[in-house]
Chains A and B, each alone.
Chain A
């Protein structure tokens, strides 16, 4: 499983767009990129998953360049309730994998009024 590197913390203000970048230089061909969000005293919550280019859902967008060595989670117009830890995970979702998620330290996002 590819190792990921992301900033330990980020600060933002309400209404701003937040971009959290994750580096995964050793990503394998079969690997997908997945992001989770964890609020204090709660379990992680799946946000988005992608393989290449761009993926968008009602919560966020995920941008993946052609070399796939990094990815950027984009949160549009954040609010105070987006304050959480965001985890970037890389791994194989096919080939019999049973979801051996490896969580790193994550990025602690603090949104201020």
Chain B
């Protein structure tokens, strides 16, 4: 059983388009996250949701909007895609009181042309 899954695994799209990445976890965790890993391999947190409530919202363009329909899902919607959005996006989850023990998904490689 896959603990944290993401779809799609690869996403190639043109500038200006709107796209979504889906994430699901079957671990029963109460917190989910989105990270971005750029071409230099720096991994940076974007958002965190705890029980469907936004907890962390780092400085990201408001073209990025997370949506959490329930505790097990955290989707990432990106409007008006730009070249600089090209990266690998990772979803992760954790369970209180161990927020530092996070389980990551396989990643979604987004390429904007």
- Given A85, A101, A102, which contacts B102 in the complex, CB threshold below 8 Å? A101
How many residues of chain B are within 8 Å of chain A by beta carbon? 26
What chain B residues lie within 8 Å of A34 (beta carbons)?
100-101
Dominant secondary structure at the B interface:
strand
What chain A residues lie within 8 Å of B90 (beta carbons)?
43-44
Interface: A59 (CB within 8 A): no
How many residues of chain A are within 8 Å of chain B by beta carbon? 25
Is B44 in contact with A99, judged by CB distance below 8 angstroms?
Answer: no
Interface residues of A in 32-50 (CB under 8 A from B): 32, 34, 38, 41-46, 49
Is B100 in contact with A44, judged by CB distance below 8 angstroms?
Answer: no
Who on chain A is nearest to B91 by CB? A43
Is A98 in contact with B48, judged by CB distance below 8 angstroms?
Answer: yes
Interface residues of B in 54-113 (CB under 8 A from A): 55-56, 90, 92, 94, 97-107
**Chain A residues close to B by CB (< 8 Å):** 32, 34, 38, 41-46, 49, 85, 87, 89, 91, 93-94, 97-103, 105-106
**Chain B residues close to A by CB (< 8 Å):** 4, 31, 33, 41-45, 48, 50, 55-56, 90, 92, 94, 97-107
